[in-house]
Amino acid sequence: MNKMKILKGIWKWGKRLFLVLFVGQLIYIVLLKWVNPPITFTQIGSIVNGRGFHQQNRSAADISANARLAVIASEDQLFPDHNGFDWKSIQKAMEYNQKKPGRLRGASTISQQTAKNVFLWQGRSWLRKGLETYFTFMIEKIWGKKRILEVYLNVAETGNGIFGIEQASQSYFNKPAKDLTQYEAAAIAAVLPNPVKLNVKPMSPYVSSRARKIGQQMNFLKPDRDIQNLIR
């Protein structure tokens, strides 16, 4: 009898804790529609690992259209059109990873990367992936594309211990992000796949080549009406 009471008590408190956590995270998501995240797990990890943490948040109005276009061209060219998930790319990545399990390929959209960077830790567990799916869905519904892109440009790691487009622009080119040229924005976007190992300065031949290709894609995407609605 006592054991049943204990189990019922645990169940009761568990439901209350779940409700508190659920309501709390929902309030946090809504709040971040207007307020920048104070710090993320990735940034905390950078501090713990000795890489440091340098960041300057900026509003979309203070970020060059070139920077917004560069990350779309580099990371997620279908960003204006999908609902947070690029299912074709996910399917291709799954097929590739099954054939070559030692060389994992990702297919994360800007929305997924933002959800992961803001709310979660780095890793590949099913739990983290499930939570990433949930938070991606929520920010697509609550924030909208322009806010997702703005937050991504503020929280993405753009160098070793460097976070956000403003800090990257100041560190690499000694200018604010609103003044970035097309090539400078493309160079920063070129290191996003692995910002700890890839560098804008000194720039490796690989990063230089990738920046040029991103610039070509920017020229291709720029006339698109949906892209223009996001970057202007």
pLDDT digits (tens, 9 = 90+) for 123-175: 778 888 899 999 999 999 999 999 999 999 999 999 999 999 999 999 999 99
- Average pLDDT in the 84-108 region? 56
Residues 119 and 202 in one domain: yes
Residues 75 and 9 in one domain: no
Residues 42 and 15 in one domain: no
Percent of the chain with pLDDT over 90: 66
Residues 99 and 177 in one domain: yes
Domain residues for 136? 36-231
- Both tokens of 181, joined, read 């040229």
Q: Tell whether the model's pLDDT for residue 76 goes beyond 90.
A: yes
At 110, which amino acid appears?
A: I
Q: Tell whether the model's pLDDT for residue 89 goes beyond 90.
A: no
The partner residues of 13 in beta bridges, in order of sequence, read: none
HSE-CB for 28 with a 13 A CA cutoff: 14
Residues 2 and 52 in one domain: no
Cβ-contact 200, 162 below 8 angstroms:
no
Domain count, the chain: 2
pLDDT digits (tens, 9 = 90+) for 181-202: 999 999 999 999 999 899 999 8
What CATH number should be reported for the domain holding residue 163? 1.10.3810.10
The SS3 assignment for 226 reads helix
Cβ-contact 156, 100 below 8 angstroms:
no
Residues 26 and 49 in one domain: no
pLDDT score at 176: 96
- Both tokens of 205, joined, read 């031949």
Residues 47 and 12 in one domain: no
Residues 7 and 55 in one domain: no
Cβ-contact 66, 222 below 8 angstroms:
no
Q: Tell whether the model's pLDDT for residue 94 goes beyond 60.
A: no
Percent of the chain with pLDDT over 70: 91
Q: Which whole-number Å values give the CA distances from 200 to 63, 137, 219, in the listed order?
A: 18, 33, 21
Spatial distance between the Cα atoms of 36 and 154, rounded to a whole number of angstroms:
8
Residues 112 and 208 in one domain: yes
Residues 27 and 130 in one domain: no
Residues 110 and 20 in one domain: no
Residues 181 and 226 in one domain: yes
Cβ-contact 222, 69 below 8 angstroms:
yes
